[in-house]
């Protein structure tokens, strides 16, 4: 899965009959948009992605209902992968910074979506799902997603490390990463000023982690116009969906979840 400079993890549409094997419904939950697509056994989309705006306000029950409506027209599937913009642990939501509702704290989203759609599901942080779709599996690889806020994931020789929530960490004076380069900052600043901040953020993350490769994804990666360092690559935003196939690689899942039993597909 080596990534190209301009489109690491880019979607390759498959308009032919999908390959045999289980089909995966991939769901990418964002602060401003909900996206879904069905993947074949190799992780390629067998449909164009479906997208609707994220409801606002967005309590858990409304999100689950809207996701069911979003995926209803999609082809049949056997299992579900979900990326969520916050800290996720054992299928539950620990933090939901984009959704100001206390009901999200410790909410069992994995089980709720599984019950709603009638298929086994696996849930992970959205930046981590995207990373699984684009990393080469060599050295220290970092994923930084620029969307409504900032997401992050770190991989060492292909293995996901414990989650580091950079989004809420201070980066400059009283500003967090979200404040500094999130979508609100992008809209408030000139294009040049926001791009300068993106470069500064990349420098800080390098000083923090000394990564081999940094992948920049998320919807706002398309707004980057400055020249990036040679070891920084723009990643396709579709990797937030296509990376979902890796959640059903039991070796990957056991490494993510430790001793948690793998969810069977019936």
| Model pTM score | 0.85
Residue 215 pLDDT > 80: yes
For the chain, where are the E strands, in sequence order? Answer: 24-29, 33-39, 50-53, 79-84, 88-89, 92-93, 121-125, 140-146, 150-156, 159-160, 170-172, 175-176, 213-217, 232-234
Residue 181 pLDDT > 80: yes
Same fold, 24-129+241-257 and 135-235: yes
Q: How confident is the model at residue 258 (pLDDT cuts 50, 70, 90)?
A: low
Distance CA 128, CA 115 (A): 24
Write down the pLDDT at residue 44.
93
Domains of the chain, residue spans: 24-129+241-257, 135-235
Distance CA 234, CA 134 (A): 10
**What does the pLDDT look like over 70-113, one tens digit per residue?**
999 999 999 999 999 999 999 999 999 889 889 999 999 999 99
Q: How far apart are the first and last CA of the chain?
A: 29
Q: What CATH number is given for 24-129+241-257 in this structure?
A: 3.30.420.40
In CATH, what is the architecture of 135-235? 2-Layer Sandwich (3.30)
Residue 134 pLDDT > 60: yes
Q: How confident is the model at residue 233 (pLDDT cuts 50, 70, 90)?
A: very high
**Cβ neighbours for 22, distance < 8 A, ≥ 6 positions apart:** 41, 78, 79, 248, 265
Residue 259 pLDDT > 90: no
**What does the pLDDT look like over 12-40, one tens digit per residue?**
344 444 457 999 999 999 999 999 999 99
């Amino acid at each position: 899965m080596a990534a190209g400079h301009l489109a690491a993890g880019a979607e390759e549409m498959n308009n032919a009959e999908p390959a045999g094997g289980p089909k995966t419904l991939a769901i990418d939950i964002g602060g401003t948009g909900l996206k879904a697509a069905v993947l074949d056994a190799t992780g390629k989309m067998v449909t164009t992605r479906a997208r609707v705006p994220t409801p606002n306000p967005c309590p858990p029950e409304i999100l689950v209902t809207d996701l069911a409506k979003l995926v209803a027209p999609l082809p049949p599937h056997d299992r579900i992968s979900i990326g969520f913009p916050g800290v996720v642990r054992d299928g539950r939501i620990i933090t939901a910074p984009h959704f100001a509702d206390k009901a999200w704290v410790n909410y069992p989203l994995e089980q709720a979506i599984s019950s709603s759609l009638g298929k086994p599901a696996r849930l992970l942080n959205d930046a981590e799902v995207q990373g699984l779709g684009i990393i080469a599996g060599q050295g220290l690889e970092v994923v930084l997603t620029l969307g409504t806020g900032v997401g992050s994931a770190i991989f060492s020789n292909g293995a996901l490390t414990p989650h580091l929530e950079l989004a809420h960490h201070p980066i400059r004076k009283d500003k967090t990463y979200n404040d500094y380069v999130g979508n609100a900052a992008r809209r408030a600043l000139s294009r040049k000023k926001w791009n300068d901040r993106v470069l500064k953020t990349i420098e800080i993350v390098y000083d923090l982690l000394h990564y081999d490769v940094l992948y920049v994804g998320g919807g706002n990666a398309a707004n980057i116009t400055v020249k990036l360092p040679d070891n920084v690559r723009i990643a396709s935003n579709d990797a937030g969906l296509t990376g979902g196939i890796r959640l059903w690689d039991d070796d990957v899942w056991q490494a993510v979840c430790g001793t948690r039993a793998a969810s069977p597909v019936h």
